[in-house]
Amino acid sequence: MSSPPPPSKTDETAEAPAKKGKLKLIIMVAVPVVLLLAVAGLWFSGILPHALGMNKHDEHTEEVARPVPPTYVDVPEMIANLNSTNHKPSYVKLSARIEVPKPEDAEKVKAALPRLQDMMQTYLREMRPEELRGSAGTYRLREELLVRANAAVAPAKISDVLFTQMLVQ
């Protein structure tokens, strides 16, 4: 039996540079990836922008971001005769409040209040008593009055019509 030949020096030296080359490649790729992940983590957690002074807010932007409360304009009480099919008269008594999102538009709405009342009265006179029954009828009435109110006060904007009192007889 013969024994295997002893390893030569050329085989050992060939394996050592190959291992060192792989190690260098791993270090060259892994270090930038780890640094990139660390920077991304610091950025998205808010630590890095804070450290760089990038998240300072001045007082002006905070004032602009604060929402302005809406203004409410009262509509005088209205009584309208409903369109009934039988010979018995039916009435609706309605008190409403208009929500105006911009305070500067409140004066425009007050100036257009007679036109607004006329459009509301006209619509109420065409309604039948059964159309006002239940929450669905009230919701439909609110939506229709909102559309008419926006048409009456244009270019001002009305965001909602709130019923303070509604009586159907």
The pLDDT of residue 161 is: 92
pLDDT tens by residue, 46-56: 887 888 777 66
CB 154 within 8 A of CB 112: no
The pLDDT of residue 103 is: 87
- Token pair listed for 134: 């239940």
pLDDT tens by residue, 141-164: 999 999 999 998 888 899 999 999
pLDDT tens by residue, 16-44: 667 778 888 888 888 889 999 998 998 88
| Residues found in the chain | 169
Going by C-alpha positions, the residue among 144, 69, 161, 64 that lies closest to residue 109 is 161
Sequence-distant (6+) residues with CB within 8 A of 137 are 130, 131
pLDDT tens by residue, 86-114: 778 888 899 999 999 988 888 999 999 99
Mean pLDDT, the chain, integer: 83
CB 62 within 8 A of CB 39: no
Q: pTM of this prediction?
A: 0.58
- Token pair listed for 34: 């780890």
d(CA 154, CA 112): 9
